[in-house]
């Protein structure tokens, strides 16, 4: 995608909390008590992707979901993107910024309490980095304990995306891919093509017994029953990514976003607007 300017990327409407004025938030609260909170990370994704990949994805998922819900007359506000997460296992790569688990839990709780203070009652946490899921769940439970009339939900779209991948016609990869691989690279190609350098993409695959602990139907993040905490990505993959990112196409990223957003939209419409999706 070519732009005439020297923009690194383009931010599309609707506004998130960062771009709104306080008066605009007050006006939105007349129509909705529901806020989507993108929970990102700043971490290595290989030489071909920016460190902000996960926060860009989380924001875009929430943006597309808000647009889809608006079309269904279910207005929501997009909250502030949390730029940092628990990325301890990517610290072997320069530029990665990590919070400890307890800090992320506190950040999420204080963001949710702030939004609750202003009148939001449905607080929906949407990750861009599945490594944050345990902390998101703890923070969600704590906020429910601490507020009398909130509804907090952690929305893990990875399960739906894995189902879409399993149908077999979305990814060009024939071998197991994961972090920074074809699928994730494709999604960043959709929104931040100027920040993707496929000439630097490196093909790297894990042994099946290693991949199973990171990315498989057995992993909790994709609906399974196993969770192996990751110690070090640098020890797993010298290039930081897993799979063949050079296979990524923007159209694949669009399909991935469609699968994710369809599920989020269905659940939010059903559970927060009293409509069976
Ligand atoms: Zn990522």
How many angstroms is it from 122 CA to the middle of ligand 1? 26
pLDDT digits (tens, 9 = 90+) for 142-156: 999 999 999 999 999
pLDDT digits (tens, 9 = 90+) for 194-212: 999 999 999 999 999 999 9
How many angstroms is it from 190 CA to the middle of ligand 1? 15
Residues with CB under 5 A from ligand 1 (ion): 53-54
How many angstroms is it from 179 CA to the middle of ligand 1? 6
Cα 1 from Cα 189, distance rounded (Å): 9
Residue 242 has pLDDT above 60, yes or no: yes
How many angstroms is it from 143 CA to the middle of ligand 1? 26
- The label of the residue with tokens 């732009």 reads 3
For residue 6, what pLDDT band results from cuts at 50, 70 and 90? confident
Q: What is the DSSP letter of 219?
A: B
Length of the chain: 277
Q: What is the DSSP letter of 206?
A: -
Cα 71 from Cα 211, distance rounded (Å): 39
How many angstroms is it from 67 CA to the middle of ligand 1? 23
Distances, alpha carbon 169 to alpha carbons 198, 203, 219, 262, in Å:
22, 20, 22, 18
Half-sphere exposure of 269 (CA within 13 A, CB side): 19
Cα 241 from Cα 46, distance rounded (Å): 5
Report the pLDDT averaged over residues 234-240: 96
pLDDT digits (tens, 9 = 90+) for 263-277: 999 999 999 998 654
- The secondary element (H helix, E strand) that includes residue 275 is none
The answer to whether 88 and 99 have CB atoms below 8 angstroms apart is no
pLDDT for the residue 248: 98
How many angstroms is it from 115 CA to the middle of ligand 1? 26
How many angstroms is it from 129 CA to the middle of ligand 1? 5
Q: What is the DSSP letter of 130?
A: G
pLDDT digits (tens, 9 = 90+) for 41-95: 999 999 999 999 999 999 999 999 999 999 999 999 999 999 999 999 999 999 9
For residue 22, what pLDDT band results from cuts at 50, 70 and 90? very high
pLDDT for the residue 277: 43
The answer to whether 224 and 218 have CB atoms below 8 angstroms apart is yes
How many angstroms is it from 128 CA to the middle of ligand 1? 6
How many angstroms is it from 73 CA to the middle of ligand 1? 31
How many angstroms is it from 51 CA to the middle of ligand 1? 9
pLDDT digits (tens, 9 = 90+) for 87-138: 999 999 999 999 999 999 999 999 999 999 999 999 999 999 999 999 999 9
How many angstroms is it from 110 CA to the middle of ligand 1? 24
Compute the Cα dihedral for 86, 88, 92, 94 and give only its sign: positive
Q: What is the mean pLDDT of the chain?
A: 96
pLDDT for the residue 2: 53
How many angstroms is it from 184 CA to the middle of ligand 1? 7
Query: What predicted TM-score, i.e. pTM, was given to this entire model?
Result: 0.96
For residue 4, what pLDDT band results from cuts at 50, 70 and 90? low
Instruction: Write out the E strands in the chain.
Output: 34-39, 77-78, 122-127, 151-155
Half-sphere exposure of 249 (CA within 13 A, CB side): 7
In the sheet with 77-78, reading across from the earlier edge strand, the strands are: 77-78, 34-39, 122-127, 151-155
How many angstroms is it from 202 CA to the middle of ligand 1? 16
How many angstroms is it from 53 CA to the middle of ligand 1? 6
Cα 73 from Cα 77, distance rounded (Å): 13
Q: What is the DSSP letter of 5?
A: S
């Amino acid at each position: 995608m070519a732009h005439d300017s020297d923009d690194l990327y383009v931010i599309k409407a609707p506004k998130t909390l960062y771009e709104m004025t306080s008066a605009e938030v007050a006006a939105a609260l007349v129509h909705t008590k529901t806020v989507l909170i993108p929970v990102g990370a700043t971490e290595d994704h290989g030489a071909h992707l920016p460190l902000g990949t996960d926060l860009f994805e989380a924001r875009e998922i929430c943006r597309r979901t808000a647009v889809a819900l608006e079309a269904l007359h279910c207005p929501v506000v997009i909250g502030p993107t949390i730029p940092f997460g628990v990325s301890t296992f990517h610290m072997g790569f320069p530029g990665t910024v990590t919070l400890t688990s307890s800090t992320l839990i506190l950040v999420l709780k204080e963001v949710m309490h702030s939004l609750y203070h202003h009148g939001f009652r449905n607080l929906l946490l949407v990750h861009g980095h599945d490594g944050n899921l345990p902390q998101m769940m703890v923070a969600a439970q704590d906020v429910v304990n601490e507020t009398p009339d909130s509804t907090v939900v952690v929305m893990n779209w990875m399960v739906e995306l894995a189902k879409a991948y399993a149908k077999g016609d979305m990814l060009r990869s024939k071998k197991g891919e994961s972090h920074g691989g074809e699928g994730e690279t494709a999604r960043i190609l959709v929104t931040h093509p100027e920040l993707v350098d496929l000439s630097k993409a490196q093909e790297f695959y894990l042994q099946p017994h290693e991949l199973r602990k990171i990315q498989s139907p057995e992993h909790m993040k994709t609906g399974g029953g196993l969770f192996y905490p990751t110690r070090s990505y640098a020890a797993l993959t010298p290039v930081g990514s897993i799979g063949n990112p050079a296979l990524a196409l923007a159209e694949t990223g669009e399909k991935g976003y469609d699968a994710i957003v369809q599920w989020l939209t269905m659940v939010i419409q059903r559970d927060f607007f009293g409509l069976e999706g």
